[in-house]
């Protein structure tokens, strides 16, 4: 699993709008320094109070802090991610169009615990599966017979890695973080192996994540 090209933007607009309801812009003390937005003490205090109210309508400024990131993750993780539809947008690499264009190797799959699969007696299954699906790819390239391609698509395991460029906001991320921080999938929580890349550890790297996303 990988998180690449993370961009966070519109802090300034979100915090300016946060003060619109009471016309309290004069109390704002945030500023930009070397292209980075620095949240001032007054603005952070107001933001924390709005978040602490527990009412999503009070903290709606979080919806205006936007995040764009390239995530490479297995299909079984994307299936769970796809339950989050509101306020998220994603463009993915095309399995349908590009599946047959490059060799299918172990690097195409999420197999982070191959030693464990050996202990479970499943490593031989992985080797056979790789031989079978790469063989189907080769037959399709030689014959252009669509039947081989269709069988390849049908046999493709859920561990197949797909890259998507995803746009979210801090309100999405707050909900996702608190719902998934104890999830049994390492790709969400890192529960069993915190050293591996996972969604919650990536969230914790975002600017002001502790104050605006993580803290209750």
- Quick one: which H or E segment has residue 32? strand 31-33
Angle between helices 11-18 and 41-52 in degrees, nearest 10: 70
Q: Do 179 and 145 have their domain in common?
A: no
- Quick one: which H or E segment has residue 147? helix 146-155
Residue 118's pLDDT is 53
Residue 155's pLDDT is 85
* Angle, CA of 191, 123 and 98, to the nearest 5°: 85
Backbone dihedral angles phi then psi of residue 47, each to the nearest 5 degrees: -60, -45
Tell me which of 135, 155, 175 is where a domain ends.
Answer: 155
pLDDT digits (tens, 9 = 90+) for 23-77: 999 999 999 999 899 999 999 999 999 999 877 888 999 999 999 999 999 999 9
Backbone dihedral angles phi then psi of residue 98, each to the nearest 5 degrees: -115, 0
Q: Do 33 and 61 have their domain in common?
A: yes
Give me the domain span that covers residue 127: 100-155
Which stretches of the chain score pLDDT less than 50?
Answer: 115
Q: Do 132 and 204 have their domain in common?
A: no
Q: pTM for this structure?
A: 0.87
Domain count, the chain: 2
Q: Do 39 and 146 have their domain in common?
A: no
Residue 2's pLDDT is 95
What SS3 state is found at 112?
Answer: coil
Q: Do 115 and 8 have their domain in common?
A: no
């Amino acid at each position: 699993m990988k998180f690449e090209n993370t961009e966070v933007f519109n802090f300034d607009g979100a915090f300016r709008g946060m003060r619109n309801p009471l016309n309290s812009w004069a109390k704002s003390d945030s500023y930009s320094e070397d292209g980075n937005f620095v949240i001032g003490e007054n603005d952070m205090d107001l933001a924390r109070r709005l978040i602490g109210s527990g009412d999503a309508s009070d903290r709606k400024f979080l919806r205006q802090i936007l995040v764009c990131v390239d995530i490479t993750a297995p299909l079984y993780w994307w299936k769970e991610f796809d339950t989050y539809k509101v306020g998220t947008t994603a463009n993915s690499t095309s399995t349908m169009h590009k599946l047959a264009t490059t060799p299918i190797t172990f690097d195409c799959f999420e197999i982070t615990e191959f030693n464990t699969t050996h202990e479970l007696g499943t490593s031989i299954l992985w080797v056979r599966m790789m031989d079978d699906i790469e063989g189907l790819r080769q037959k399709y390239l030689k014959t252009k017979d669509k039947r081989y391609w269709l069988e390849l698509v049908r046999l493709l395991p859920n561990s197949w890695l797909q890259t998507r460029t995803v746009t979210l906001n801090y309100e999405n991320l707050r909900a996702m973080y608190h719902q998934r921080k104890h999830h049994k999938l390492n790709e969400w929580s890192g529960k069993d192996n915190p050293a591996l890349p996972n969604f919650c550890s990536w969230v914790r790297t975002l600017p002001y994540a502790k104050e605006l996303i993580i803290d209750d």
